[in-house]
Amino acid sequence: MEFIEPHAHMIFRTTDDYQQLALTGCVAIAEPVFWAGSDRLSADSFEDYFRQLTESEPRRAAQFGIQHYAYLCINPKEGNNRELARAVIERIPKFLSRPNVIGIGEIGLNRNTRNELETFKDHVALALEYSQLILIHTPILEDKLKGTRLIIRALQSFKNLNPKRVMIDNAEEHTIGMIRDSGFRCGLTLYPDTKMSYSRAVDIVEIFGTEGIYVNSACDWGKSVPMAVPRFVTEMRRRKHPEESIRKVVFDNPMAFLSQSTNFRVPSPKALAGLVGKDQAGR
Which residues here bind another protein, judged by CB under 8 A? 80, 111-117, 141-146, 149-150, 172-174, 177, 199-200, 203, 206-209, 238-241
Nearer to another protein, 113 or 131 (CB): 113
Regarding beta strands 166-168 and 67-72, do their DSSP bridges make them parallel or antiparallel, or are they unpaired? unpaired
CB of 208 to another protein, least distance (A): 7
| Minimum separation from the CB atom of position 172 to another protein (A) | 6
> 68 or 241, CB closer to another protein?
241
Residue 28 Cβ vs another protein, minimum distance, rounded to whole Å: 29
- Among residues 15 and 199, whose Cβ is nearest to another protein? 199
Closer of 183 and 274 to another protein (Cβ): 183
Q: To the nearest whole angstrom, how small is the minimum distance from the Cβ of residue 2 to another protein?
A: 23
Nearer to another protein, 85 or 117 (CB): 117
Strand partners, 133: 103
Spatial CA neighbour of 161 closest among 178, 142, 184, 144:
184
Q: What are phi and psi of 101, to 5 degrees?
A: -85, 125
Question: DSSP letter string over 205-225?
Answer: HHHH-STTEEEE----SSS--
How far is Cα 87 from Cα 44, in angstroms, rounded to an integer?
Answer: 9
Q: What is the closest distance, in whole angstroms, from the C-beta atom of residue 138 to another protein in the complex? A: 12
Tell me, what DSSP letter sits at residue 190? B
Nearer to another protein, 245 or 268 (CB): 245
Write the CB contacts of 215 (distance below 8 Å, at least 6 apart in sequence). Answer: 187, 188, 189, 190, 201, 228, 229, 232, 249, 250
- Crossing angle of helices 114-129 and 144-156, in 10° steps, is 40
Q: Minimum Å distance from CB 253 to another protein? A: 18
User: How far, in Å, CA of 163 to CA of 134, rounded?
Assistant: 9
